[in-house]
Structure 1
Amino acid sequence: MTAVIDTDVAIIGAGPVGLFAVFECGMLRMKSVVIDALEDVGGQCTALYPEKPIYDIPAHPAIGAAELIAQLETQIEPFAPVKLLGRRVETLMHDGEVITLGTSRGETIRCKAVIIAAGAGAFGPNRPPLDGLEGYEASGAVRYMVARREEMRGKRVVIAGGGDSAVDWALSLKDVAAKVTVVHRRPKFRAAPETAAQLDAAAAKGEIEMVIPYQLHGLKGDGATLYAVTVATLKGEERDIPADHLLAFFGLSMELGPIADWGLGLERNHIAVEPATCATNVDGVFAIGDIATYPGKLKLILQGFSEAAMAAHAIHPRVFPGEALHFEYSTTKGVPAG
């Protein structure tokens, strides 16, 4: 028998922003169902970098991604959200004031509003075009994430990329790995200025080797065990870097999946929203976090948290029509009883 679930708000995406949306809705006495294609909550924090430190969460000078998710789960426990994991939302239909969602496992969810907090959508790593890559991926010699820092202890690690992930992991692994080498095609990194400065300082101390301006060119090994990473300049100058692991951080390829067919206003695979409410062009559907875009948007978790609060307040009149919402600080009213 197909399950039918009635709720106030359906939240698509169980990453940090989606989880915080549960809290914000709960604080306004709105029930939530959370749906995610992954088997666990946490989104990219859980799937790609559970041990990566995050530095821009207020009151946490540094917090591991997995720890952040654990704290968010604790925060939403009083509201007992229904979690539907390991399935995708395939369909969205309007029936008057009710929105009906259908999942890939056959559940039907009826709600008053939808919050899309799908992060990068259906995401996967951008893979470098290297011969024999699949064999080294299968053995774990080439990776696009680090689940546990200890796996790199005593290893020769080559990190390729110029963004936050490459810089953060170089800094994180320099005290664990036998050697960390960073390969990038130009001296400037697209990372936060503070961490980029830390990388420069570590390189100056000899803690990290910088191989610039080079790009990945090939892999040397027996097809499973990696011996060296070949890099080359644009002029064709090559060199081999002894390595046990290659960590390639070239971003994520993003695919919206069925969301792309719901008539939403899309801008380069992102959903355009009203900045003040996070409402989309489809009545009752809101988008927050990395998937949402508007002028001045910053792709920061903390901005996604703010958007969760704005969306919840905008949704309240849909769930409780005619009821005035007298805003109170959480320090005044505490957490509503479930």
Structure 2
Amino acid sequence: MSHKTDVAVIGAGPVGLFAIFECGMLGMRCHVVDALDAIGGQCSALYPEKPIYDIPAFARISGAELVERLEQQATPLKPVFHLGQRVEKLERLGEGFRLTTSKGAVIEAGAVIIAAGAGAFGPNRPPLAGIEAYEGQSDGRGVHYLVRRPEDFRGRRIVIAGGGDSAVDWALALHGIADHIAFVHRRDQFRAAPDSVARLRALDGKGLDIVVPFQLDALAGDSGRLEAVTVRSLDGETRRLPADALLAFFGLKSDLGPIATWGMELALHHLPVDPATCQTSQPGIFAIGDVATYRGKLKLILTGFAEAAAAAHAIFPLLHRGQPLHFEYSTSKGAPGTA
């Protein structure tokens, strides 16, 4: 399917979501592509429950809440999301660009904003035979690598695998929502925050069982419907854990992927940009957030927010040649998309 838009945004993390708003303030529409099947980038996938302390006006906000508020801010601008796919090909098309995704979507845009963080993220899948048959279910069943809506798992029997912050945080968050949680890790030591680990251990035997030292061994079910997860110890002992869902938190892998082949200058897997405009070495292609680099760059979400505004203002004259841009503050202009 082909689409036409003003700006194509690659990456639906916090900075990419704010780019939708900043472009919308100038009357430009966006299509957004992300390799994950939900918006939010690292905030949703890695630390949805972790507090963030350096977002202006919020003394404390979780990654999930930040993404939710950015989504609310962007929604009136009617962005179109292409999730669970990445941009495989980018071609210059006259004064614009044609992007082709891994699912065959074709997007023609006047400019491109790359907000891909450290690159396209994808889950580290456990090496389990037939795991693909259980992926992609939306009813709180099957295999999942991130949690979009905790309520999807209400009343479910869940196996959570992993020993880091994401695994422990979601075990704590889903306790009391899920019918039962089996927490599987290969050793009785965890890489999560000590306070979180203490809370996890306090729940052992209370609707949550810590299953250590075990590793995932096999999945059992029928017609893609998960029924149990088999785990195995290093000594060969096996246990069968009844399960409606497996949440596997083994981290995310990231790389620039096809972005590295689009003819832009690279610097240690980052894209050097002009800090005044965030334009890369390729005219019409901009980079913001962690993927962008320049002298004095601070890798902070709030830095990315400012870069989104700079990129949007640099794109406007490219798409509206000869039309003056009269800058207005939002207090006088009003919120876009609400008229």
Deviation (angstroms), 1:173: 0.7
In the alignment, which residue of structure 2 is the partner of 1:93? 92
Whether the 8 Å CA contact 2:168–2:200 is kept in 1: the answer is: no
Indicate yes or no: 2:140 matched with 1:143.
no
Distance 1:108 1:228, change over 3 A: closer
Cα distance in 1 for residues equivalent to 2:270 and 2:324: 33
CA change 1:107–1:114 in 2 (3 A) is closer
1:18 aligns with 2:16: yes
Q: Percent identity?
A: 43
Q: What secondary structure, in the 3-state scheme, does the structure 1 residue paired with 2:163 have?
A: coil
Instruction: Tell me the CA shift for residue 32 of structure 1.
Output: 3.6
Deviation track 1:289-321 (CA, whole Å, cap 9, x = no partner) reads 3544567654x6555334313433555665688
Q: Unaligned stretches of 5+ in structure 2?
A: none
- Which residue is equivalent to 2:282? 282
Which residue is 2:31 aligned to?
34
Give the deviation of 1:84 after TM superposition.
Answer: 7.2
What is the root-mean-square deviation of aligned Cα atoms in Å?
4.5
Q: Is the 8 A contact 2:10 2:34 kept in 1?
A: no
Query: Helix, strand or coil for the counterpart of 1:263?
Result: coil
Equivalent in the alignment of 1:129: 127
Amino acid at match of 2:126: P
Give the drift of 1:175: 1.4
Matched residue, 2:262: 262
What is the match of residue 252 of structure 2?
252
Contact 1:43–1:119 (CA<8 Å) still a contact in 2? no
Q: Which runs of 5+ in 1 are unaligned?
A: none
In the aligned structure 1, how far is the partner of 2:146 from the partner of 2:317? 42
Corresponding residue of 2:113: 115
Query: Do 1:228 and 1:243's aligned partners in 2 also have CA atoms closer than 8 Å?
Result: yes
Query: TM-score, normalised on structure 2?
Result: 0.68
Distance 1:210 1:274 in 2: 50
Q: Secondary structure at the match of 1:175?
A: coil
TM-score normalised by structure 1 residue count: 0.68
Residues 226 and 4 from structure 1, CA distance in 2 versus in 1: closer, same or farther, beyond 3 angstroms? closer
Alignment-derived partner of residue 228 in structure 2: 227
Count of matched residue pairs: 316
Distance 1:304 1:326 in 2: 23
Q: 1:138 to 1:16 in 2, by over 3 A?
A: closer
Deviations 1:199-222 (A, max 9, x none): 42242354554455x452412645
Report the counterpart of residue 215 of structure 2 in structure 1. Answer: 216
Amino acid at match of 1:91: L
Pairing 1:163-312 to 2, within 5 Å after superposition: 163-185=164-186, 187-189=189-191, 193=193, 197-206=195-204, 208-211=208-211, 214=213, 216-219=215-218, 221=220, 225-233=226-234, 236=235, 238=237, 240=239, 242-244=241-243, 245-254=245-254, 256=256, 258-266=258-266, 270-273=270-273, 277-292=277-292, 298=299, 302-312=302-312
CA 1:100 to 1:226, structure 2 compared with 1: closer, same or farther past 3 Å? closer
Task: Specify whether residues 73 and 116 from structure 1 end up closer, same or farther in structure 2 by C-alpha distance, changes over 3 A only.
Answer: same
Work out whether residues 54 and 65 of structure 1, in 8 Å CA contact, stay in contact via their aligned partners in 2: no
Which residue identity does 2:261 align to in structure 1?
A: D
